[in-house]
Chain A
């Protein structure tokens, strides 16, 4: 149990376009979802925390107008990178949690902006 999926697993987009990444909890209801960004050979950096039905809480330095997060249901959260630029190229990972239990991570989405 406790499976989290992400779609797509990789995406290439042109500079200036927007891209949406989906995160789904497949076998549990996720009251909280987290979005992380990971650059090569680096640790995971938390971007934002979202609770179902409420606005996301962004970490310091993360532009909320650039990284739009929607947690519309207990099994789905989306991250939209708006007006993407090459410096937004990274590995984006979501995690999901039910109540105060363990966080389960998705497989990640590799974003390349050309």
Chain B
């Protein structure tokens, strides 16, 4: 019940395309859903995060869509660029129980020029 399932495992898009990465969770107590970007050999960096009282959040070219009833959330990257090529992780946490992050399996994104 603590798992977060992420798909796809890898994704290739052309420059300007809109890659979409999906995550699903079971634990309805989760109340914080962040997305992280990780480049090879580096630590993850927070991209954008959402709370379950909001269905969508945009920050620059990154958008999170959140479906509370389906227990799913997704990341959309608008006008993707080769520099967006990285591994993306979704996560979920329950801040009433310490806020420990449960990570998805990761998606390796490649944006072709």
Contact = CB atoms under 8 A, between A and B. Distances in A.
A66 B71 CA distance: 37
Interface string A23-56: 0000000001010000001111010010000000
Majority secondary structure, A binding face: strand
Interface in B74-113: 89, 95, 98-101, 103-106, 108
Contact of A46 (B41, B44, B101): B101
Interface stretch (A13-21, A73-81, A82-90, A99-107): A99-107
Q: Is the interface of B mostly helix, strand, loop or mixed?
A: loop
Contacts of B103: 43-44
Given A43-B89, A100-B99, A102-B49, A108 B105 contact: no
B43 interface: yes
A110 interface: yes
A43 B43 contact: no
Interface residues of A, number: 23
A43 B41 contact: no
Interface of A: 4, 6, 32, 34, 41-44, 46, 49, 91, 93, 95, 97, 100, 102-108, 110
8 contacts: A41-B108, A43-B89, A43-B103, A46-B100, A49-B98, A93-B44, A105-B45, A108-B42
